[in-house]
Amino acid sequence: MIEETFWHPVALSSDVASAPVAARLLERDLVLWRDGTGALQAWADQCPHRGARLSLGRVQDGRLECPYHGWQFEASGRCVQVPALPAFTPPATHCAHRFAAQEAHGLVWVRLAEGSEALPGFAAESDARLRKLNCGPYDVAASAPRIVENFLDMSHFGFVHEGWLGARSATAIDDYQVEATATGLRATGCKAWQPQSNLHSTAPAQVEYGYEVNAPYTAILTKVPEAATVAIDGYRESIALFICPLAPELSRVWFRLAVADFDSPDDKLRAFQHTIFTQDQPVLESQRPRRLPLDLRAELHTAADKASSAYRRHLKHLGITFGVC
Ligand code: FES
Ligand code: CO
Q: How far is the CA of 82 from the centre of ligand 1 (A)?
A: 9
Ligand 1 pocket, residues with Cβ under 6 angstroms: 47, 49-50, 52, 66, 68-69, 71
Is the separation of the CB atoms in 108 and 32 below 8 Å?
yes
Residue from 50, 55, 58 whose mutation best tests the ligand 1 pocket (most atoms within 8 A of CB): 50
Cα-Cα-Cα-Cα dihedral sign, residues 230, 233, 235, 236: positive
pLDDT tens for 58-73 read: 999 999 999 999 999 9
Other CB atoms within a 10 A radius of the CB of residue 263 amount to 9
Question: Which residues make beta-bridge pairs with 99?
Answer: 42
DSSP 8-state code for residue 52: -
pLDDT tens for 127-174 read: 998 999 999 999 999 999 999 999 999 999 999 999 999 999 999 999
Q: What percent of the chain stands above pLDDT 70?
A: 97
pLDDT tens for 278-297 read: 999 999 999 999 999 999 99
Residue nearest to atom 3 of ligand 1 (CA): 50
Q: Kindly give the interhelix angle for 306-318 and 144-152, rounded to the nearest 10 degrees.
A: 150
Other CB atoms within a 10 A radius of the CB of residue 88 amount to 12
- Whole-number Å distance between alpha carbons of 85 and 106: 41
pLDDT tens for 171-181 read: 999 999 999 99
Count how many Cα atoms sit within 13 Å of the Cα of residue 119 in the half-sphere of its side chain.
20
DSSP 8-state code for residue 3: G
Q: How far is the CA of 50 from the centre of ligand 1 (A)?
A: 5
Q: What is the model's pLDDT at position 279?
A: 98
Is the separation of the CB atoms in 19 and 35 below 8 Å?
no
Atom of ligand 1 nearest to the CA of 71: 4
Q: Which of 124, 135, 123, 125 is nearest to 104 (CA)?
A: 125
Residue nearest to atom 4 of ligand 1 (CA): 69
Q: How far is the CA of 56 from the centre of ligand 1 (A)?
A: 11
Q: How confident is the model at residue 232 (pLDDT cuts 50, 70, 90)?
A: very low
**Where are any strands of DSSP class E within 166-307?**
177-181, 184-194, 205-215, 218-223, 237-247, 250-259
